Amino acid sequence: MRKQGKLLGALAALCLVTGSVSAQNWPTKPVRVIVGLPPGSGTDITARAVSERLTAYTGQTFVVENRPGGSGSIAMNIVAKAEPDGYTLLVMSSSWTVTPSTVANLPYDTLKDLAPVTMVGRQPNILVVHPSVPAKDAKEFVEYVKKNPGKISFGSSGTGSPHHLAGELLKQVTGIDMLHVPYRGAGQSMQDLVGGQIAAVFTTLSTAIPQARGGKIRILGLVESKRQPSVPEIPTIGESVPGYAMPRSWLGFFAPAGLPAPIVKRLNAELLKALHAPDIRAKLEAAGMPVAGTSAEEFATVVKDDIEMYGKIAAAAGIKPE
């Protein structure tokens, strides 16, 4: 029995050493970075900037691979089914925390099959309107919609998206009658807003900033509960519409569940170093994405809480998985 105990102890020690060594040696070949959105999106631009820096740090190429579609579920399924060896990663926005409440029969378990590594940064979502809308803040917009029941439409990046739910929550909190118009991405909804085909859109701050600076649209407020340090001049919707607050939006790196803890720790450390590099931080913040950088454990808690909160909002809006 003593010999058996010593043998088991030696095997356990060997596993710890092996895990440590593999983390030190990782990566020894190119790493796939799967992005669930098309090239040119804010998520894609961020993934490429960070991947380029990881390539410089590790000496191995981090190759960005765009796999859009299915509200991000195509990309997530690829990573969820991949070998948990550190050579397949996912960059995804918080929009995928909505899919458990809006998409039926997902081919993976959102919480069990994907391992959060770090939150890259915040992706503030906002309410924007066409300049013809006589509203300077969210309260005035609500009053305008109440005077025109059923006549005002708001656009989003798709049915069941965080932007859609942001509009539904405004309807729930204020009792306004507003029509939802789903688009196939934030770019299309922004084009129609600038063109005056739609009165309002819920979208990401990074998508709206160029048009807002040019005076082509007007930003009314952030959907989150707190103002963003990078844009302190933009109020939250809740400041003028009490009771309104959406989950914070973010962008993050994930890996397949089961990735050895030493590799998670090494990857997290390399990502934090990249995110806090002055040029990377400046590039992300200029695009309206304040850098976060969290531990894997902190990020996992955010993901779990957001899935629960979006589930409650979707249920209250009568949205069922399809």
Average pLDDT, the chain: 88
User: Does 4 have pLDDT greater than 70?
Assistant: no
The band of 22, judged by pLDDT with boundaries at 50, 70 and 90, is: low
pLDDT of the residue at 10: 46
Query: Which is more confidently placed, 137 or 318?
Result: 137
Domain that holds residue 85: 23-123+249-316
Which CATH number fits the domain that encloses residue 103? 3.40.190.150
pLDDT of the residue at 158: 83
Q: Is position 322 within any domain?
A: no
Same domain, 169 and 311: no
Q: Is position 3 within any domain?
A: no
- Out of 208, 239, 270, pick the residue that ends a domain: 239
Same domain, 35 and 79: yes
Same domain, 44 and 87: yes
Q: What percent of the chain has pLDDT over 70?
A: 92
Same domain, 117 and 257: yes
pLDDT of the residue at 23: 64
Cis? peptide before 27, omega within 30° of 0: yes
Q: Alpha-carbon distance 137 to 146, whole Å?
A: 15
Q: Is position 9 within any domain?
A: no
Residue pair 306/100 in contact (Cβ under 8 Å)? The answer is: no
Highest mean pLDDT among 97-101, 178-182, 187-191: 178-182
Q: What is the mean pLDDT of residues 68-90?
A: 91
Q: What is the mean pLDDT of residues 98-106?
A: 83
Query: Which is more confidently placed, 57 or 1?
Result: 57
Query: Which is more confidently placed, 17 or 63?
Result: 63
User: Does 8 have pLDDT greater than 50?
Assistant: no
Q: Minimum mean pLDDT among 15-19, 104-108, 317-321: which range?
A: 15-19
DSSP secondary-structure letter at 40? T
Same domain, 118 and 137: no
Q: Minimum mean pLDDT among 4-18, 33-47, 67-81: which range?
A: 4-18
The bridge status of strand 62-66 relative to strand 218-222 is: unpaired
Same domain, 110 and 254: yes
- Out of 221, 239, 257, pick the residue that ends a domain: 239
Within 8 A by CB and 6+ apart from 20, the residues are: 262
Q: Is position 72 within any domain?
A: yes
Q: Alpha-carbon distance 201 to 190, whole Å?
A: 7
- If phi > 0 it is left, if psi is from -120 to 50 it is alpha, else beta; for residue 318 that is left
Same domain, 114 and 164: no
Which CATH number fits the domain that encloses residue 175? 3.40.190.10
Q: What is the mean pLDDT of residues 275-292?
A: 85
Convert the pLDDT of each residue in 221-258 to its tens digit.
999 999 988 789 999 999 999 999 998 889 999 999 99
Q: Is position 5 within any domain?
A: no
Q: Is position 93 within any domain?
A: yes
User: Does 259 have pLDDT greater than 90?
Assistant: yes
Same domain, 253 and 300: yes
Same domain, 75 and 54: yes
> What's the pTM?
0.78
Q: Is position 186 within any domain?
A: yes
pLDDT of the residue at 20: 46
User: Does 7 have pLDDT greater than 80?
Assistant: no
Instruction: Work out the widest C-alpha separation in the chain, in whole angstroms.
Output: 83
Please name which of 273, 264, 248 lies closest in space to residue 116, comparing C-alpha atoms.
Answer: 264
Same domain, 149 and 235: yes
Sheet holding 125-129, edge to edge: 179-182, 153-156, 200-204, 125-129, 218-222
- Out of 239, 259, 284, pick the residue that ends a domain: 239
Within 8 A by CB and 6+ apart from 72, the residues are: 36, 37, 92, 93, 95, 96, 99
Number of domains the chain is built from? 2
Same domain, 89 and 157: no
pLDDT of the residue at 197: 96
Q: Is position 13 within any domain?
A: no
Q: Could you tell me the two tokens for 72?
A: 């991000």
Same domain, 200 and 153: yes
